Structure 1
């Protein structure tokens, strides 16, 4: 049985409603339209109250068998909850930083802009790289001929105006 579209899975799991107090935002490849078979659904949250967040997560994952929850030991110490539901793997990333400031959201926004500005040819190139096994940011970096760390290189593009990005896309 094929998995439903990501937005249907989110609706059935009621994740955004359950996480509403934490400013949940869906990011990653499904909403960008560049998902591959192994893509997961990423939900980014603003961790304003760790105890309340953990209560919500327990309610979400308690009926599920395949889940994990971890907390990073460095930086802002985000909490990551991963589980399967509706044929998808979900990953909830909750960080004390507001979602707008989180690297994952910033990557998502610049990738959406690039896909919009680059049109079908650029989207096809990114998809070709994704299907070859590359993760999203490295695929974008290669498609754009960026050097260095692909995660940082993409963030360096976010301040550029759309006309500058469009010009860069036509040059590749």
Structure 2
């Protein structure tokens, strides 16, 4: 499988037109430079090419000092339209969610006191990327079509590949799976489709 260093957005310049546009907008804003102390990683659908119109640029951050993080946000992005900063505690974990708009893109920056690569958003994205490498362009287009029909990303993968149980929890478990185990779902998909065509 092709590896991507998701920590460096240079890979976006080799991608789709939408990915190239996203890279230019983020570079223009200097978002990763401003957020560098918080180990930012672009996560969700844009990096892996399954975004649909209206998809946000979601950025995960490792935040332990929420007051300092909010100061960084307001100092660098406080002039931007639709800025909102919301903090809350979910299941005993503090988190902060920042939203703003820039050059037609909605940004959502998510911070919590968990290293970025251990956060659910990052791990879901990595598993989905690995699955997309298996199911190819036709599979990617089917995931996009399901999303356009209103199905959320993780449930779309679960429905297409026949992944049982809670799709969010299942994909997190699959983060640790080797490629040969992940490919089992692809072969099940092929077998299912052969049976449907017979």
Give TM class, smaller chain. over 0.9
Matches within 5 A, 1:9-48: 9-48=25-64
The answer to whether the 8 Å contact 1:78/1:94 transfers is yes
The answer to whether the 8 Å contact 1:117/1:162 transfers is no
Instruction: Identify unmatched segments of 5+ residues in structure 1.
Output: none
Counterpart among 134, 137, 149 of residue 132 in structure 1: 149
Q: TM-score, normalised by structure 2?
A: 0.81
Question: What do residues 50-95 of structure 1 show as CA deviations (whole Å, max 9, x unaligned)?
Answer: 2221111102332123111111222311100011111111000001
After the TM superposition, list the runs of 4 or more consecutive aligned residues in structure 1 that deviate by more than 3 angstroms: none
RMSD over aligned CA atoms reads 1.7
Question: What do residues 107-151 of structure 1 show as CA deviations (whole Å, max 9, x unaligned)?
Answer: 011111111122112212211111112221111111111232221
Corresponding residue number in structure 1 for 2:164: 147
User: Matches of 1:137 and 1:5 in 2, distance apart?
Assistant: 25
1:106 matches 2:151: no
1:51 matches 2:87: no
1:160 matches 2:177: yes
Q: TM-score, normalised by structure 1?
A: 0.92
User: Matches of 1:117 and 1:139 in 2, distance apart?
Assistant: 15
SS in 2 for 1:163: helix
User: Matches of 1:134 and 1:8 in 2, distance apart?
Assistant: 29
Corresponding residue number in structure 1 for 2:14: none
1:65 matches 2:74: no
Corresponding residue number in structure 2 for 1:76: 93
User: Matches of 1:53 and 1:103 in 2, distance apart?
Assistant: 20
1:85 matches 2:108: no
Give, in angstroms, the shift of residue 170 of structure 1: 2.1
Aligned residues: 171
Corresponding residue number in structure 1 for 2:135: 118
Kindly name which structure, 1 or 2, has the bigger radius of gyration based on alpha carbons. Answer: 2
User: Matches of 1:138 and 1:89 in 2, distance apart?
Assistant: 23
Higher relative contact order (CA 8 A, sep 6+): 1
